[in-house]
Structure 1
């Protein structure tokens, strides 16, 4: 692998590159969150109205398991890709097209089995796209810009949640919702894919890949291990809080239009998130500090979960969404920058970021397993949101175990 390929970048990326990767992030997370926020829950209710919670838990959990495999796998493959078109962009194209096809399968799913197949395929292919896209950041962006770029990726992710919820709720049905999200992914990805900033690996320099490469020893790389655990716990807290949000609005709050309610809450969350996501990323870059931002963001998110649990009204949900947005905006930009600064090897950026991203997807598998029995048998939503808050505080505190990053 050439020194030029693996060297830490020093030349700042132009604003145009940042804008285009943020736009691609918007499309990707629209394709993720249109289903996650609305469509999967509505489809589960339509196909199995008497067991919608269990069906949604199974579909979400299996899909997340596929994402946990796909992210590090395609990160590693893109690290070793020797095509003239580059290492990252080809896999963005392949993953994006696979995601479009998978969403089309979901649009026509006649039963739960096809729904499971479609969502597992969507998670596998869209995570292939995400792995390649996010690996482009440490390839191209110097350390002093990563908080800012992470902030703009957070803008794309946040607006993707809003746009996905809106398209899913207003497209005119389940099938239309999936197809509109797929079309939006294509449109928003094209500008970034047409840029020419990508690293190229010579065929003679491609390292071999084995199953052992996916194990990163926390004993040998303790900061990487603590960073992974911190991200896992904070994402688990968030996943526990949102997995049954639509049903919470429907069954506990008694909101007349739960699908529309999810969109309204998402919009409130997005507005407050956008007020912090870029500014705190820039602030973190200038202060050269990451951990204190991650810690306090996690504590604020935990407070939002407690508000949901003990103020189960529409007003309480609105306040909770606003608080969550403030905390998650800080977390999105600064945590991403922190993660890129604890990667063990420059030549394995894609694979190592993929391993870190398991901490995003694995909570989606575990959260329904935790949430379903709590909601059904162990105290309901107040207990669920208390558990979410406790997990979030634990992740916030453990970030200070990281030693190599301030």
Structure 2
């Protein structure tokens, strides 16, 4: 979509969806907006969650670091789940001259900025938990509206391509955030968290300026009734079999990778036995491999999915690659196995990110609830970022402090996710 087309469209009353006939050309500007938005919320989030948060916890209480990470993850998962549903529903119902998504994107950016600064300043475990949970609330004010913009503004025939563009930004955020975060390990942890807070502050304004959302004042306003509440603020209950297969399949695949990523610092130190310099080196190498391989596949996979008219097969194949990748450190405790993990899992996640978002949109029970339902589906992303460390902590605890059990369990989890995805009936 050109700038002139975007301005023209912005003057019309927004209806909430676009058909193939109404959109002969792919809305590339929407793809760029969502890609930058994803990069600017996910990169800082993972830079903190996967690298700087574990490092900060290790300084505060090195003896109980694994348990504290699990506590932070578990508490945050509850807040993220509630925020996804509530903010997604409120976003769908928002009527303003700036549209349904724009106000939430601005509020989310500012809130994340403030709460990361607070998280950086606190030095006790209870305050870490409180500030991290509040950060999750504002983070989901960014996540749900950005994802919903694809359902709002992109016709079905273009979703593979636009999902690929979105995935390009998502992948850079997924792995680039950790790469940047690793540069602040050591005495610069606080500086790193401040940098991440500033980047998140840019997320909403950048997305809004490029997206140029239409006014939602012309859309039907809904009175508060029980039926309205169930539709907009409750998990789907009708025609939702494929929706939940997509949700849990996606969550399992993502959990397999995030369990490894969340504990990669400890894997490198306690399983591979690297010193601080070695950890910094290999976190950078692994993150770069994950990012580069995923970027390459994210560019290619979406258009191929459109061409072969299939979503399930590419996504299930991606889950298989992830399973192989996360199993690699079983072979040896030598550093090369983590490098192999980065290369193979990166290929899988690139395909997964590119095609899975298009699959998610096509299993929605009701397009009117796009932000709420896509927000719930996105719990597979944000939820797995929180669930992964809990799973990893449980495995390490049961194994008496050994990290070896992580690898076969995570491989099995990803394979189960692939099976669930292949059980979806509505999508080819």
Normalization by structure 1: what TM-score? 0.93
After superposition, give the CA deviation of every residue in 1:341-372 in whole Å (9 maximum; x if it has no partner).
01111111111111212223333444333322
Q: Which residue of 1 aligns with 2:295?
A: 274
- Whether the 8 Å CA contact 1:167–1:181 is kept in 2: the answer is no
- Which of 393, 397, 405 in structure 1 is aligned with 2:415? 393
Give the structure 1 partner of residue 118 of structure 2: 105
Verify the 8 A CA contact 1:226 1:402 in the aligned structure 2. yes
Distance 1:201 1:313, change over 3 A: farther
Q: How far does residue 142 in structure 1 lie from its aligned partner after superposition?
A: 1.1
Q: Which residue of 2 aligns with 1:41?
A: 54
> Does residue 216 of structure 1 match 2:236?
yes
Higher mean C-alpha displacement, 375-384 vs 64-73: 375-384
1:5 corresponds, among 15, 40, 43, to: 15
1:382–1:166 Cα change, 3 Å:
closer
Match of 2:270 among 251, 254, 260: 251
Separation in 2, partners of 1:368, 1:233: 13
**8 Å CA contact 1:8, 1:346 repeated in 2:** no
1:207 to partner: Cα distance:
5.3
Question: Contact (CA 8 Å) 1:31, 1:181: kept in 2 or not?
Answer: yes
Q: Does the aligned pair in 2 maintain the 1:88–1:198 contact within 8 Å?
A: no
Higher alpha-carbon deviation: 134-143 or 351-360:
351-360
| 2:46–2:178 contact (8 Å) kept in structure 1 | yes
Structure 1 residues 260 and 115: alpha-carbon distance in aligned structure 2, compared to 1, 3 A threshold: farther
Residue in structure 2 matching 1:298, options 319, 322, 325: 319
Pairing 1:347–2:368 present = yes
Q: Distance in 2 between matches of 1:345 and 1:197?
A: 21
Range that drifts further, 15-24 or 93-102: 15-24
Determine the C-alpha separation between the residues in 2 that align with 1:114 and 1:38. Answer: 19
More divergent stretch after superposition (156-165 vs 108-117) = 156-165
- Matched residue of 1:194: which SS? helix
Deviation at 1:260, TM superposition (A): 4.2
CA distance in 1 between counterparts of 2:34 and 2:219 reads 27
Q: How does 1:302-341 map to 2 (within 5 A)?
A: 302-341=323-362
Tell me, yes or no, if the aligned pair for 1:25 and 1:153 is still in contact at 8 Å.
yes
CA distance in 2, matches of 1:201, 1:308: 54
User: Which residue of structure 2 lines up, in the alignment, with residue 121 of structure 1?
Assistant: 134
Aligned-partner SS, 2:364: coil
Structure 1 moving runs of 4+ over 4 Å: none
> Relative to structure 1, is the Cα distance of residues 20 and 358 closer, same or farther in structure 2, using a 3 angstrom cutoff?
closer
CA distance in 2, matches of 1:158, 1:222: 28
Shift in Å at residue 3 of structure 1?
A: 9.4
Going from structure 1 to structure 2, the CA distance change for 1:3 and 1:40 (only over 3 Å counts) comes to: same
Output one character per residue of 1:137-168: Cα deviation in whole Å (capped at 9) or x when no partner: 10001112212222222221221134322432
3-state SS of paired residue (1:155): helix
Count of residue correspondences: 404
Asked if the contact 1:13–1:140 (Cα under 8 Å) also holds between the matched residues in 2, the reply is no
Structure 2 residue 29 is matched with structure 1 residue 16:
yes
Taking the TM superposition and a 5 Å limit, the aligned residue runs for 1:373-384 are 373-378=394-399, 380-384=402-406
C-alpha spacing 1:42/1:390, structure 2 compared with 1 (3 Å):
same
Q: Name the SS for the 1:268 alignment partner.
A: helix
Contact 1:136 1:198 in 2 (8 A): no
For each residue in 1:250-281, what CA deviation from the matched residue of structure 2 results, as whole angstroms up to 9, or x when unmatched? 11112223244323211111111111112111
CA distance in 2, matches of 1:244, 1:49: 14
Counterpart CA distance in 2 for 1:143 and 1:191 is: 25
Contact 2:256–2:411 under 8 Å retained in 1: yes
Alpha-carbon contact 1:9-1:138 (below 8 Å) kept: no
Contact 2:36 2:169 in 1 (8 A): yes
Aligned partners of 2:180, 2:329: CA distance in 1, in Å? 25
Q: 1:106 to 1:288 in 2, by over 3 A?
A: same
Give the C-alpha shift of residue 308 in structure 1: 2.0
CA shift at 1:327, angstroms?
Answer: 0.4
**Structure 1 CA distance for aligned equivalents of residues 162 and 219 of structure 2:** 31
The alpha-carbon deviation at position 243 of structure 1 amounts to 2.6
For residue 197 of structure 1, what is the aligned residue in structure 2?
213
Which stretch of the first structure deviates more once superposed, 307-316 or 186-195? 186-195
Distance 1:346 1:377 in 2: 43
TM-score, scaled to structure 2? 0.89
CA distance in 1, matches of 2:110, 2:103: 11
Alignment partner, residue 180 of structure 1: 195
Give the Cα separation in 2 of the matches to 1:93 and 1:395. 34
Structure 1: gaps spanning 5 or more residues: none
